[in-house]
Amino acid sequence: MQKAGQNAPSPDSLALNSLKQQLLKLGSMVEESAVLARSVLAIADMEAAPQIRSSDDKIDILYHQLENSCTQLLTDKSLSQKQVCEVLSYIHCVRDLERIGDYCKELAELGERLLPSQPLPQRDAILIMLDRCRSLLALALDCVSDDDGSAGAKLQNFDDLVDADYEQLLEKMMDPIPTSAQAYEASLLLVLVLRCIERMADHAVNVSQRVARASK
């Protein structure tokens, strides 16, 4: 119930809040895909891979809906400059989250191809790297939810850990260079796994940085 003397939220403010809630819904869907991708890599859960592909279709649908909503809001000449900056940040956040979803699907496909190599070489270290990335994503979504522009540096520190994981694992996988054809192919696929996780972390950091810029 609206208190006496308290101004009701403007239609633009309500639209922006609705947009943010849909953005957080997209983020939740992407988080679920990341959990499923971990299952594919950790225990060769082949039932998870089709779930990721189905979820990715839903992510793409919501992604396009959010892009359209952002575009429509930007045509509203009543938006303040700060609100325009907020909508622009949401557009970029939506794209970052959609890309993370794509990388989750790619991880699932790589996990399927790596099934003959289970248990994976350096599996525990790879899963730690992926768990760091999932923590980055959760923190980035917290930044969106709380309009917290101060967490960018903290996320950057986490991202540095992911980058260090990437370099160390890459070196271990290629030293010595595998001699058999199957081991060599598995190593190449694992390099692609590492690259997916590293890029997912970068996109999560991007989300927090965009929130920081919009909140200034």
Which residues, including other chains, have CB under 8 Å from residue 101's CB and lie 6 or more apart?
A: 29, 30, 33, 55, 56, 59, 60, 63
AA identity, residue 52: I
Quick check: is 2 in a domain? no
- Which pLDDT belongs to residue 6? 55
pTM for the model stands at 0.90
Quick check: is 6 in a domain? no
- Which pLDDT belongs to residue 127? 95
Quick check: is 210 in a domain? yes
Q: In this structure, what are the phi and psi dihedrals at residue 159, rounded to the nearest 5 degrees?
A: -65, -35
pLDDT in tens, the chain (216 residues): 445 445 666 777 888 999 999 999 999 999 999 999 999 999 888 899 999 999 999 999 999 999 999 999 888 778 888 889 899 999 999 999 999 999 999 999 999 999 988 888 889 999 999 999 999 999 999 989 988 767 666 787 888 999 999 999 998 887 777 778 888 888 899 999 999 999 999 999 999 888 887 766
Q: Where are the beta strands (DSSP E) in the chain?
A: none
Residue 155 to residue 201: CA distance in whole angstroms: 9
Quick check: is 5 in a domain? no
Task: Tell which residue, 137, 136, 99, 129, has the closest CA to residue 190.
Answer: 129
- For 8, counting Cβ atoms within 10 Å of its Cβ (0-12 exposed, 13-18 middle, 19+ buried), the class is exposed
Contact between 189 and 112 (Cβ < 8 Å): no
- Which pLDDT belongs to residue 15? 87
The answer to whether the bond into 11 is cis (omega within 30° of 0) is no
- Which pLDDT belongs to residue 210? 85
Quick check: is 55 in a domain? yes
Any idea what the CATH number is for the domain that residue 105 is in? 1.20.58.220
| Domain total of the chain | 1
Quick check: is 211 in a domain? yes
2: left (phi over 0), alpha (psi -120 to 50) or beta: beta
**Residue 207: domain span:** 11-215
Quick check: is 153 in a domain? yes
Quick check: is 15 in a domain? yes
